[in-house]
Structure 1
Amino acid sequence: LKADDDLSVAAEDWVDAKKDTGEVRSGAKEYLGEIKPPPKDGDPKSNADWWKGLSEQEKADYISMHPDSVGNLNGLPADVRDEANRAIFEEKRAEYQTQYKNIPEEPKPKYVSSGRAIRYSDEWLEWRQKYEGRRAHLKSALEGVKAIQKRFDRTGEGGLPEAYLLRFDPNDDGRVVLANGNPDTADHTALYVPGTKTHSGGIDGDLNRGVTLWQESHTLSPGDKISTITWFDYDAPNQIPNATSDKYAEKAASALREFLDGNRVAHEAATGGTAHTTVIGHSYGSTVIGDAAKYRSDYADTWSDPLPADDVIAAGSPGMQAEHAADLGIDPDHMWAMKAGGVGSDDWFVREGGRRVGLGGNGVIPTDREFGGHVMESDSDDHGGYWKVDDHQRPSVSLKNQARVIVGDYMGVTLE
């Protein structure tokens, strides 16, 4: 990669590099064709075996030429996926910055007089048709890029470990999977699934929740290796009424299930064992977990475990597609739930708000006693308050209870 006339690599350089990569791929077609490609629709174990079978040179070449393929393969080591996805990240950031900069400015005046009436100008209407939607998408995607870069830059701050970008796709609402600490070598891994209204442009708050979970878990168990993952790899409902439908969770189930399975395969390859794994679903994210627990993939008729996870936490859940935790194959002793209090709380939306989501058997939600499991104490006073710390960086009860489950300190969890 050659910079134009200085030592900085500008967006234009990255855009040019992407073009050059295409030309290299074309010129080296015969050589690249000799590298065995990953198995088509392979399961995580097959993906891991394929990668292990390549030489070091072939691995480096394949990442260089096919980062989009490598970055999305479940079962591959986290550092490999991170390397591939960071290349995509830089290319897409440059591409989107260039496209955003090249959009013509909004024409003025926006309104013109027509007799006694005021209407939009023809120039503005034409601009809106051509550019408004694209500009909004680019702006949102670049906000997501900014949030990811901010997390990269925080590495080392207060002991915060390296970030691993395990999935990145800025198209549509975007896809972002980012880990704090290497999940392949962690003693404890927690995966956080966000809910309704999630999109890459607003991913900053969800990435911060992953950081907060890591910080509190590390405080409770400083001698252990911990990884917390923000997993946003599905099309989330864009508004509360849409969250009454199971279709979003049903489509997301395979992606979540296969990521968890891939995480276990990669961990076994790195350590010979498995990590203590906790899956946390916020709001509709818990519904996704419910569907993933019932999911049967194309590459396995049955599962030895309902989920490749030891504990499940549901925060502010509208339902998990079942009347009882056991119906999902979840051990009630390892099923945890919490809810917010106050006006406009979780229960208000599900019960009194007229939006009875109905995503559990007979309308049962995880904080109902009949669902089974444990209802944890929570001091959240709103739907998004489960990860709060105060001005002195003291964790809320809700956050501490989640961290206790993450590190396996079950006796320390306070219950309602």
Structure 2
Amino acid sequence: METKTLYDANLNNLLTARFAYESLASAFAKHIEAWQTTVVDRLERSQWTGSTADQVHGDLRAFTGKLKAADQELVLVAAALGEAHRSVALAQSKLVQVMDDAKAAGITVKPDGGMTWDNDRNSSTFAGPGAANKAEALSLRLRDALNEADHADQEISRRLRHFVDNATSGTGLDGATAEADRKANQARMDIPDAKATPEQVKAWWNGLTPGEQEQLIQNHPEEIGNRDGVPAVGRDEANRLTLKRRHDELQSEFDQLGPEPMQRPMPGEVVYAESLEHRTWREKHTDLEEKLKGINAIQDRLNDTVSADHPKSYLLGFDTEGKGHAIVAINNPDTADNVVTYVPGTGARLGSIPGDITRSDDMVGAAHRADPAKTTSSITWVGYDAPQTIFPQAADDSYADGARDKLHSFETGLRATHEGGPSHNTVLGHSYGSTTVGYALRDRGLPVDEVIFVGSPGVGVDNAKDLHVDPRHVYAGRGDADAIEWALPENPADYVKDGASEWGTKITNGFTDLVPYGGFHSEADNHLAFGRDPANGHFGGNEIPTDPGTEHSDYWQGFSLRAMGKIIAGK
């Protein structure tokens, strides 16, 4: 749909059509009532009997059923027209807001949706140095409004064609058909149960108008915001509502927590032993403080002015259960050419999200440098309960086990909601996050094109071919100063470790890469806590080069970041 078409749409026509069908259905219902009382009921009371009477009574009942079915269809037509009015009005209001905001910023929106502005600093109508960024943000909002209107147009047209077909063929006079239509209209707003696949959820969502989608977002934000198969724009809107509400609730709890209880020495002691009262207060205080920190960081990123360095972000998942969970995308994964899902490891939680979002921003930048012609969405996926301590939690694979289905559902959902041709998808696991990714690949398979492991303690298999991905698309990197090499198996004496490596440089297109001569970072067949080290040559994948001195959290810089950018961009 074009900008001018939506802007000029006369909503009164839709409203008039709706009222006309409602009046028609009301009048028709009165005719049915009159028919029932003056003809059918009177004949029933006439005491007319016999085979002919039975035939007539049956015919009259069948005819009455057809009349009632027709009336039900008219009611549903009126409802469809009402939904058309609501959905187009919603899209039109968003468009008008874009136009108003553009005018205030000195930006002109052309009929085809293009945007122009005065770049002359000496001109009285100069739009300002940030005009390009503002225009980019406005363009995204404009596209969303036009997409909503186009979707409403297609969905309402489909519904009305169905009623036209029923009327033309006569099936609309069948009571069973009319009842099925009524139930389908009623069930449309029922959220699919937990057994529904992301593909089924997407099909259900597509069958709703933007008005119906908005109603569900407003009434059930937590369910819609965390449902794989719902497109990113809908999830983002729902989760922003939940984010604000939970922020206000947690802030209220924090404010009411009161001052820290005083510590008193135990009887006969001079040292202060923590009381139950103090420990309870401290744990609650820390939990609330961390969650508020994470929420505020997410809100700040969502509110960032859209620019080349800070693309638009989307909140694809959020809750405060346990340590809290959040899924934050930089750029829209449903429209991006490349999509990478980053799974952090030990310590990942709502309170740690700021640093992880920064890494997503870094990966978007690296992928853009690798291929400026393509758009990349980088998703920080803290959608599972990660271990919070190195020992004993990070030595336990139950956290990876518990994340398998969640990660599989999320990745499947990305495929289901993507617009146009398939995107080039990568999943990247860091530290224990690599174990989580490996277990999901091993046990469920993931619909991805590339797999990256960095700083891994093992991924649950000893060979890349067991990940159900072509080993040529499996990459791993481990820095020479990464302490993860000491995440040993239960019986480390069974394996040999060899840190020897020889490094050289290779110049490609003016860039210098650090590459290993004749093999991988470690030629030894060393095993770690959860299987063979994926960064050694025996694993069967490819190695990512790292800078000398790379420690466990240093992969988002230098050689390794550039390598990740190339992989994410399909280069």
With structure 2 as the length reference, what TM-score do the two structures score?
0.58
Amino acid at match of 2:427: V
Structure 2 residue 445 is matched with structure 1 residue 291: no
Superposed CA deviations along residues 154-193 of structure 1, whole A, max 9, x for unmatched, are 3424442110000011221111100000000110111110
| Pairs within 5 Å for 1:11-22 | none
Amino acid at match of 2:189: K
- Mark the CA change 1:375 to 1:351 in structure 2 (over 3 Å): closer, same or farther: farther
In the alignment, what sits opposite 2:349? 199
* Distance in 2 of aligned mates of 1:160 and 1:144: 18
Structure 2 residue 483 is matched with structure 1 residue 345: yes
Superposed CA deviations along residues 25-59 of structure 1, whole A, max 9, x for unmatched, are xxxxxxx9865312212100111111112232221
With structure 1 as the length reference, what TM-score do the two structures score?
0.79
The two structures, once aligned, show a CA RMSD in angstroms of 2.4
- Mark the CA change 1:315 to 1:118 in structure 2 (over 3 Å): closer, same or farther: same
Q: Check conservation: 1:160, 1:215, Cα contact below 8 A.
A: no
3-state DSSP class of the match of 2:242? Answer: helix
- Percent of aligned positions with the same letter in both sequences? 35
Moved more, 180-189 or 154-163: 154-163
Q: Check conservation: 1:257, 1:295, Cα contact below 8 A.
A: no
In the alignment, what sits opposite 1:118? 270
Name stretches of at least 5 consecutive residues in structure 2 with no aligned partner.
Answer: 1-184, 494-526
* Distance in 1 of aligned mates of 2:461 and 2:305: 40
Amino acid at match of 2:409: E
In the alignment, what sits opposite 1:81? 235
Q: Check conservation: 1:243, 1:357, Cα contact below 8 A.
A: no
- Mark the CA change 1:322 to 1:382 in structure 2 (over 3 Å): closer, same or farther: same
Structure 2 residue 437 is matched with structure 1 residue 275: no
In the alignment, what sits opposite 1:376? 544
Superposed CA deviations along residues 92-133 of structure 1, whole A, max 9, x for unmatched, are 00110111011111134x33585x633659xx9464265332
Structure 2 residue 286 is matched with structure 1 residue 136: yes
Name stretches of at least 5 consecutive residues in structure 1 with no aligned partner.
Answer: 1-31, 297-305, 389-395, 410-416
Rg bigger for which structure?
2
Matched residue count: 351
In the alignment, what sits opposite 2:190? 37
In the alignment, what sits opposite 1:319? 458
In the alignment, what sits opposite 2:209? 55
Amino acid at match of 1:227: S
Structure 2 residue 396 is matched with structure 1 residue 245: yes
Structure 2 residue 569 is matched with structure 1 residue 367: no
| Pairs within 5 Å for 1:84-103 | 84-103=238-257
In the alignment, what sits opposite 2:469? 330
Amino acid at match of 1:64: Q
- Mark the CA change 1:111 to 1:173 in structure 2 (over 3 Å): closer, same or farther: same
* Distance in 1 of aligned mates of 2:228 and 2:253: 31
* Distance in 2 of aligned mates of 1:45 and 1:286: 26
In the alignment, what sits opposite 2:328? 178
* Distance in 2 of aligned mates of 1:126 and 1:246: 31
* Distance in 1 of aligned mates of 2:225 and 2:276: 39
3-state DSSP class of the match of 2:270? Answer: strand
Q: Check conservation: 2:345, 2:429, Cα contact below 8 A.
A: yes
Amino acid at match of 2:228: N
Q: Check conservation: 2:366, 2:564, Cα contact below 8 A.
A: no
3-state DSSP class of the match of 1:117? Answer: coil
Q: Check conservation: 2:442, 2:461, Cα contact below 8 A.
A: no
Q: Check conservation: 2:345, 2:431, Cα contact below 8 A.
A: yes
Superposed CA deviations along residues 375-413 of structure 1, whole A, max 9, x for unmatched, are 12111521110003xxxxxxx11100000101111xxxx
* Distance in 1 of aligned mates of 2:278 and 2:562: 48
3-state DSSP class of the match of 2:400? Answer: helix
Q: Check conservation: 1:191, 1:230, Cα contact below 8 A.
A: yes
Superposed CA deviations along residues 200-248 of structure 1, whole A, max 9, x for unmatched, are 1122111111111111212222221110000111111122232222211
In the alignment, what sits opposite 1:11? none
* Distance in 1 of aligned mates of 2:344 and 2:284: 25
| Pairs within 5 Å for 1:368-407 | 368-379=536-547, 381-388=550-557, 396-407=558-569
* Distance in 2 of aligned mates of 1:340 and 1:49: 44
* Distance in 1 of aligned mates of 2:376 and 2:296: 25
In the alignment, what sits opposite 2:40? none
Q: Using CA pairs below 8 Å that are at least 6 residues apart, which structure has the higher relative contact order?
A: 1
* Distance in 2 of aligned mates of 1:103 and 1:178: 29
